[in-house]
Amino acid sequence: MSITDEVQAAKQAHPDHPVHSLVTKRWSPYGFSDRPVAPEDLRSLFEAARWAPSSFNEQPWSWIVATKDDAPAFARLLSCLADGNQVWARHAPALALGLVRERLRRNDKPNAAAEHDLGLAAGNLLLEATARDLVVHQMIGILPERARELYALPAGVHALTGYAIGYLGDGAGLPERVRDRDRAARTRRPLAESVFGERWGDPAHLVR
Amino acid sequence: MSITDEVQAAKQAHPDHPVHSLVTKRWSPYGFSDRPVAPEDLRSLFEAARWAPSSFNEQPWSWIVATKDDAPAFARLLSCLADGNQVWARHAPALALGLVRERLRRNDKPNAAAEHDLGLAAGNLLLEATARDLVVHQMIGILPERARELYALPAGVHALTGYAIGYLGDGAGLPERVRDRDRAARTRRPLAESVFGERWGDPAHLVR
């Protein structure tokens, strides 16, 4: 097995109840290969995101995207990530910022679902990426005000998340403490600590 | 073709770029069949949600779930939905509320990704549901303060979304104006209006 096969095997989720392989296979690596992502693959990722559901079909999401073949554009987008994320994300072949429109187009009232719905769209993007053997690592550690300035974000739109997109790599160029994260087991709380019935905190019958 | 086959065919997405069938097949119906959802299917839906990524692996999500075979529990959860949603959601065999923990467990600071990450978990839930021929209709129209009271939500946790979960139905029991929504074509903005490059609003080369 190659190092990336070993890592991928170690990162496979072991669910307590059967779930689709696109769920168990997906994880968020720090180590990216330098293999570029074909434009048609990137388009399909955002196309999948586009078909996510959203409250009132507002589609409050938008993205800024840069690929490494355009070095100045890539550097500009990289500079909107927190330092700790730049360390590893600079090795990915494609980067993106996820943005939300804060108010509803229909009546200019606050959209309580805006950030949630960017998450739904990101969920579809991850599904499509996983189906194409691409990996995506999302970040909340970004510099929203730098993004606002560099990309002239209008009032009422803000950057919330970053995305590194590419193929799994062995993390050879990464500091050891970062690379080691790709060898750690994936952990989640048991379902009984998240799915409740009578009261918050009391496990639903379903998951007892 | 049955009415539900016709509706399902009409609701199939027609993407501009190829995407996985789990993306094109999914939509949010108002008409639910009275067929119950097996407990093992429901468990797998939340299990899929459990394996979603989250910022710092905080897993800020939790859910309250009720199924129709427990009539008082179902009525209680239904009462947390806005009136306009109760009209149709009462026909679904399972309901849920999606909740978020507002602060990080690690340091009690605000979690900027909390609502976004509930959206990511919901994305996984939708994937699993679609793979099982289940349908899910999410709602932002819920009564969070009623949920807080009924389910004793602790400070720092709030209800954000509702879920109706079940099988597609013909909407026979619904007011015509609601049922008609299940016959309307699915629409989305073009990708060029959401994926930007140099500046926000300028389509990325990728999607021009």
Tell me what the pLDDT averaged over chain A comes to.
96
Query: Which positions 162-181 of A are in contact with B (Cβ < 8 Å)?
Result: none
Reported pTM: 0.98
d(Cα A9, Cα A44) in Å, to the nearest integer? Answer: 26
| Pair A50, B18: CB distance under 8 Å | no
Measured in angstroms, the CA of A3 and the nearest CA of chain B are apart by 23
| Pair B63, A194: CB distance under 8 Å | yes
d(Cα A175, Cα B151) in Å, to the nearest integer? Answer: 46
d(Cα A103, Cα A112) in Å, to the nearest integer? Answer: 8
Q: What mean pLDDT do residues A84-103 have?
A: 98
Question: In this complex, is the C-beta atom of A14 within 8 Å of any C-beta atom belonging to chain B?
Answer: no
Q: Which residues of chain B have pLDDT under 50?
A: none
d(Cα A180, Cα B136) in Å, to the nearest integer? Answer: 38
d(Cα B181, Cα B177) in Å, to the nearest integer? Answer: 7
> For chain B, where do the domains classified as CATH 3.40.109.10 start and end?
29-167
Find, among B65, B204, B15, the residue nearest to A52 by Cα: B15
Find, among A124, A115, A104, A119, the residue nearest to A51 by Cα: A124
| Helix or strand holding residue A66 (H, E) | strand A61-67
Q: What mean pLDDT do residues A99-116 have?
A: 97
Query: Which positions 97-116 of A are in contact with B (Cβ < 8 Å)?
Result: 99, 112-113, 115-116
Question: What pLDDT digit, counting tens, does each position of A45-81 carry?
Answer: 999 999 999 999 999 999 999 999 999 999 999 999 9
Alpha helical stretches, state H, chain A: 3-11, 21-25, 39-50, 71-78, 83-89, 114-131, 144-150, 176-179
Find, among A127, A39, A118, the residue nearest to B20 by Cα: A127
Report chain B residues whose CB lies below 8 A from the CB of A201: 152, 154
Q: Tell me, what's the pLDDT at A199?
A: 98
pLDDT category at A1 given cuts 50, 70, 90 is low
Query: Directed axis angle between helix B39-50 and helix B114-131, to 10°?
Result: 140
Q: Tell me, what's the pLDDT at B4?
A: 82
**A30-169: which CATH architecture?**
3-Layer(aba) Sandwich (3.40)
Best B25, B43, B125 residue to mutate vs chain A (most A CBs within 10 Å):
B43
Q: Which residue of B59, B128, B188 is in closest CB contact with A188?
A: B59
Q: Tell me, what's the pLDDT at B152?
A: 98
Question: What pLDDT digit, counting tens, does each position of B43-61 carry?
Answer: 999 999 999 999 999 999 9
Find, among B127, B125, B112, B100, the residue nearest to B56 by Cα: B112
Question: In this complex, is the C-beta atom of A68 within 8 Å of any C-beta atom belonging to chain B?
Answer: no
State the ipTM, two decimals: 0.98
> For chain A, where do the domains classified as CATH 3.40.109.10 start and end?
30-169
Q: Tell me, what's the pLDDT at B1?
A: 61
Find, among A199, A205, A22, the residue nearest to B51 by Cα: A22
**B29-167: which CATH architecture?**
3-Layer(aba) Sandwich (3.40)
- Size (chain A), residues: 208
Find, among B30, B45, B19, B44, the residue nearest to B126 by Cα: B45
Q: What tokens were used for B187?
A: 């629409």
Report chain A residues whose CB lies below 8 A from the CB of B65: 195-197, 204, 206
Q: How many CB atoms lie within 10 A of CB B83?
A: 8
Alpha helical stretches, state H, B82-174: 83-89, 114-131, 144-150
